[in-house]
Amino acid sequence: MTKITDLKEDNIHQIRQCFYDGEIWTKNKLAQKTGLSLAATTNILQYLLQNNEILLDGKAQSTGGRKSKQYVLNADYQSLGVMILKRDHINYYYAGRIYNLLGKCLGDIRLTGTKGDYNELVRAIDLLLKKKHFDSLVISIPGVSNNGMINICDFEELAQRDLGGLLKDRYQLSIIIENDVNVAGIGFSRQYPQCNNLAFMYQPKVKYIGCSMIINHQLCKGFSNFAGELSYLPFFTHLQQTEMLKKAPDNLLLDQLVSLCCVVNPEIVGISSDVLEDFSGDGMENYLPKEHWPQIVFVEDFDSLIYEGLYVLGIEKIIDNIKKEQTNG
């Protein structure tokens, strides 16, 4: 096998990333895409083939001369587990899926619990692993996670725990734990790749609103991953917000939207609400000049955005892990 030291890491990484868009590639197309020489591209393709990361997919149609070999990602080289944690006034919900590297769902589970604690989460992960082993696990939580350490969280039994460390030790998997609205924001931004600055807001039935902000195509998390916790703005107490959520959720959402617009000035804002059937931003004219209004997109299927964001985070982690393992190996 070609040694990793014989090839430049960054060049291998460049070629590897091309395959994750799901396209069929030839050597010439890859060389044109990456700017690498044909000789370097050939060596890297041989390395990826020998490592089973990519597969031969026949030959391209010839326009004269020899047909070009075609290459595709080996979608089963690794697999990814993802899990959404949600709650209402009574129960705690765990929804998991397993994806191959091209986003095909290979299995799923659902579990309802009454405690929202570590043991319930472990039960849900065990159920998912019984469907199929996976190499990395990405979890969305209704709370703040800083490198796997859970701060405030609607699953109170998970708060103030090094959840990432506990799960990594237990399962020997690569673990990512991220705020659910941040994850949904990543999924939402994939639908608007041309937009540099956007935001996503989620108004749940219980607890308080959350927001993710994508600035220059990058998720803005702040130094302690607290960015977007709009319920802590000094306009309404949590008690007042709880009352407004029951009696005037649209007014509460409008106030928080206007605050967001003043701070971040997003071009597009996605909004999902468990208590409103629609929200168009009516009333912004009382606060903001029209030229600063964002486009409002009301999203009915919040979970689908979370799944998409979890997949994106997981694939990024898998690619990074492969690079590190092969460099150090």
SS3 state of residue 108: strand
pTM for the complete prediction? 0.91
For domain 79-182+304-328, the question of CATH label 1.20.1730.10 is answered with no
* H helical segments located in the chain: 9-19, 27-34, 38-50, 118-131, 163-171, 180-189, 238-247, 249-264, 302-328
Residues of the chain with confidence (pLDDT) below 70: 1-7, 59-66, 329
Hey, what are 38's tokens?
A: 């044909």
Separation CA 28–CA 49 (nearest Å): 16
What pLDDT does 325 receive? Answer: 82
What pLDDT does 120 receive? Answer: 98
Q: Do domains 79-182+304-328 and 193-298 have the same CATH topology?
A: yes
What pLDDT does 208 receive? Answer: 86
What pLDDT does 93 receive? Answer: 98
Locate the domains of the chain by residue range: 4-73, 79-182+304-328, 193-298
What pLDDT does 8 receive? Answer: 85
Separation CA 266–CA 80 (nearest Å): 32
What pLDDT does 323 receive? Answer: 86
DSSP of 32-54: HHH---HHHHHHHHHHHHHTTSE
Residue 217 has φ and ψ, to the nearest 5°, of: 70, 10
Instruction: Kindly report the CATH number that applies to the domain delimited by 193-298.
Output: 3.30.420.40
What pLDDT does 192 receive? Answer: 96
Separation CA 230–CA 232 (nearest Å): 5
Separation CA 264–CA 266 (nearest Å): 6
- Using alpha carbons, list the distances in angstroms from residue 139 to 21, 125, 143, 144: 23, 10, 11, 12
What pLDDT does 4 receive? Answer: 53
Class of domain 4-73: mainly alpha
SS3 state of residue 309: helix
